[in-house]
Amino acid sequence: MPFTSFRFFFFLAFVIFAYYVVPKKFQWFVLLVSSYAFYLYSGVENVFFIVATTLFTYFSGLLMQSMRNKNQKKIEALGEDLTVDKKRELKKEVAKKIHTVQVITVLINLGTLASLKYLNLLLGSVNDMFMLFRWDASVPFVNLIVPLGLSYYTFNSIGYLIDIGRGKYAAEKHLGKFALFVSFFPSVVQGPLNRFADVGIQLQQPHKLEYDNLKNGALLILWGLFKKLVIADRVSAIASTVFSSSFAAGEYNGSQILFGVIAYSFQIYGDFSGGTDITRGAAQMMGIELPLNFERPFFSTSLGDFWKRWHMSLGAWMREYVFYPVMLCRPVSNLSKKMRKKHGSYAGKMVPSVAAPMVVFFLIGIWHGVTSQYVVNGLYNATLISASVAMVPVYNKLIEKLHINTEAFSYRVFQILRTTVLLFISRIIVKAPSLHDAGLMIKALFTSVDFDFLLGFNGEIYKMGVSQKEMSLIIFSVLILLVVGVLQENGMKIRETLAKQNIVFRWALVLAFVAFILIFGVYGPDYNSSSFIYGNF
């Protein structure tokens, strides 16, 4: 049930109605039933996996909790007879056992994810290798289904297990309420990734029918539809025109590739953030606040900053469950110490600063897919971010010597442009038909620029999958997106500002916006409105 379909909005309206009509203590149950109904719609066979993950994670959480509780009871029973050392020893002992359970359960969850999602990709790569070495052999593919939202609910479950293992909060005792956390229908398809301590608790709490929640949620959904249907699905024609054929065919020059990558950047942002807005808006209408997933990534001043603004919930997840553990793990600490002894404190500091991003971005790369392009893109990001950390002293010296005012607007514009260029390269690595094509395209980006094309003087720009009228619409829509972004960057809260306006203006604006989406959106039976890109990850 795509989030942009009328069916979804009928479903959502029905769920919201039922949610507020039933007694508050049953609201969570309405959500659970709705979530499973939503999930069942994607195919009965998919339900098996989400149920299995839910049960496995739920009982694993309870097991870890009971180990901790038993130990606590033991410590309390022994009371003052227990020495501090003995107490510490008991805690350590149980922590070790919990850790073992945690590692096993996390690995099982990851193993399920990897086998369902990546096994055939890996087998394909093995077959490619056979072909490369001209061996007359092939490994048969396995007939596997990839359940809807597999990555998202698996990551949510893993986060929960790690938090329980760390003792951050107690394991959820109610199976139904835990199942709701795993399957909550607005966010099960493409996130954002939720933390049990935040969203899991909110889902269990009763919510009153609040006008502001309904209104703000609906506005957020509208904004999401605008990004997805008007921008992403419209510019997708340009991106697929440029990136669908091999660059070796020589069809496009650097300017056309630049145009294509700009289009793709807006497509992927509009698609993913638009989908997240619909998700968050739907949840907000029921009084549930899901985490922010995007914070105007087009205004990022560095790649590091970009990853704090793009897919923020994945970034936060990686930071919490991968980045810090890698930074603080024994091998990295030992290596850091060795480096410090041999090459000084700067070198020692650099070890965790390089190792952690490398692992994180490698994982982010393969999270998107086990293809050489995603892996290379992950390493590209990791290398740049690690290098930027390592180069901080050099930058600082340079800035000091050249008397650069880093507070100036022009410096910020420079930073944004620099980041944009680096991101364009990253996008080309992923979107090009192959790594080889990506290399050629990146080279062309800097070597063959045709301003007549970019400025539309020779009319070639209208042969890239969109007509002149559509191009005008795209430019206008992107301007709306950027203007709103600038206002938000400057601290304006759009929905709050809108709420303060006179009712006539407010209604006229919202009605005009609804009409704009209805007329200019890409949807309906004569259009092939693409599915959400991140629904596939």
Partner 1 sequence: MTKKQFIRSIAFFMAVAVMVLALCDLFDMDNTYNYNQRYCTYRNFPKDTVDAVILGTSGVDRYWIPSQAYEEYGITVYPLSTDAFPAWLYKYAVDEALRFQDVDLLILDIRPFTLEECNINDMDIRARRFLDALTPFSINRIKGCFETMKIRDDVDKSASRLDLSYLFPIIKFHGKWADDDYSIANNWSSVPHEYLGYNIIDNATVRPRPQEIYPYDADYYVDLNPYIETYFYEFLDYIKELQASSDIEVLFIDTPQVRLDVEMGISNKIYKIIEEEGFECVHYYDENSETTFSIDLDLNTDFYNEGHTNFYGGQKFTTIFSKYLIDNYDLKDRRDDPKVQKHWDGVHDKLLNKIAELEEARKNKLDAAKS
Residues that bind partner 1 (CB under 8 A): 6, 209-211, 214, 467, 469-470, 503, 507, 510-511, 514-515, 518-521, 523-527
Q: Which is nearer to partner 1, 339 or 517 (CB)?
A: 517
CA distances from 284 to 179, 279, 292 (A): 20, 9, 12
CB of 233 to partner 1, least distance (A): 12
- Which DSSP category does 384 fall into? H
User: CA triplet 214, 216, 217: central angle to 5 degrees?
Assistant: 65
Cβ(291)–Cβ(457) below 8 Å? no
CB of 494 to partner 1, least distance (A): 18
CB of 488 to partner 1, least distance (A): 25
The total number of residues written for the chain in this structure: 537
Contact partners, residue 400, CB within 8 Å, separation at least 6? none
Give CA–CA dist 20/437, Å, rounded: 54
Q: Which is nearer to partner 1, 12 or 32 (CB)?
A: 12
Report the candidate in 535, 2, 10 with the shortest Cα–Cα distance to residue 225.
Answer: 2
Q: Which is nearer to partner 1, 6 or 141 (CB)?
A: 6
Q: Which is nearer to partner 1, 406 or 472 (CB)?
A: 472
Q: Which is nearer to partner 1, 6 or 457 (CB)?
A: 6
User: What's the Rg (C-alpha) of the chain?
Assistant: 26
User: CA triplet 361, 114, 149: central angle to 5 degrees?
Assistant: 85
CB of 7 to partner 1, least distance (A): 9
CB of 468 to partner 1, least distance (A): 9
Give CA–CA dist 70/286, Å, rounded: 38
CA atoms within 13 A on the CB side of 257: 31
Cβ(356)–Cβ(401) below 8 Å? no
CA distances from 434 to 209, 243, 424, 430, 460 (A): 51, 10, 16, 8, 25
CA distances from 262 to 20, 245, 414, 426 (A): 43, 17, 18, 12
Backbone angles phi, psi at 5, to 5 degrees: -90, 155
Q: Which is nearer to partner 1, 393 or 525 (CB)?
A: 525
Q: Which is nearer to partner 1, 82 or 218 (CB)?
A: 218
Give CA–CA dist 51/57, Å, rounded: 10
Q: Which is nearer to partner 1, 492 or 518 (CB)?
A: 518
Give CA–CA dist 202/223, Å, rounded: 24
CB of 165 to partner 1, least distance (A): 42
Torsion 459-463-468-474 (CA) sign: negative
CB of 260 to partner 1, least distance (A): 21
CA distances from 517 to 176, 221, 224, 511, 528 (A): 38, 12, 10, 10, 16
Report the candidate in 276, 275, 264, 214 with the shortest Cα–Cα distance to residue 240.
Answer: 264
CB of 209 to partner 1, least distance (A): 5
Torsion 429-433-435-440 (CA) sign: negative
CB of 218 to partner 1, least distance (A): 10
Q: Which is nearer to partner 1, 82 or 510 (CB)?
A: 510
CB of 493 to partner 1, least distance (A): 20
CB of 525 to partner 1, least distance (A): 6
Q: Which is nearer to partner 1, 210 or 450 (CB)?
A: 210
Q: Which is nearer to partner 1, 48 or 507 (CB)?
A: 507
